[in-house]
Amino acid sequence: MIKIEAIVREEKLEDIKEALGKIGINGITVYQVMGCGKQKGYKEVVRGTEIDITMLPKIKFEIVVSSEEWEQKTIKAIEEAAYTGNPGDGKIFSYELRNILRIRTKETGTEAIN
């Protein structure tokens, strides 16, 4: 089992949800988060004073899939939907999970996510 985390631009939320739905991914968790990367934010003038905005609003997706095949499909869908070609498009992380338990049914492993 593999967990995929993607941190992307806020405005890409609906595009990514739609792309994931098209490939059959329906179990997702979404968070509103703040962060910065290489671009280090931007400068803004507020009441005549220039300030640095270093923490930018982002969206974080968490998705658990059952196999490497689904990992690749999921990453490709997110990558294509999130891409603008500009700094700040985001990052995608994936890593293996040891176990999963569905509390209601007591199912474990891949049965808990299918």
- How far is 77 from 82, CA to CA, in rounded Å? 9
Q: Which of 36-40, 75-79, 91-95 has the lowest mean pLDDT?
A: 36-40
User: pTM to 2 decimals?
Assistant: 0.86
Q: Using one digit for the tens of pLDDT, what is the confidence trace for 48-78?
A: 887 777 788 999 999 999 999 999 999 999 9
- Report the pLDDT averaged over residues 5-15: 97
Assign 38 a pLDDT band (cuts: 50, 70, 90).
confident
Which range among 16-20, 39-43, 44-48, 50-54 has the greatest average pLDDT?
16-20
Per DSSP, the residues of 2-54 read: EEEEEEEEGGGHHHHHHHHHHTT---EEEEEEEE--TT--EEEEETTEEEEE-
CB atoms within 10 A of CB 41: 15
Tell me, rounded to whole angstroms, the distance of Cα 82 from its chain centroid.
9
Query: Which domains are delineated in the chain?
Result: 2-112 (3.30.70.120)
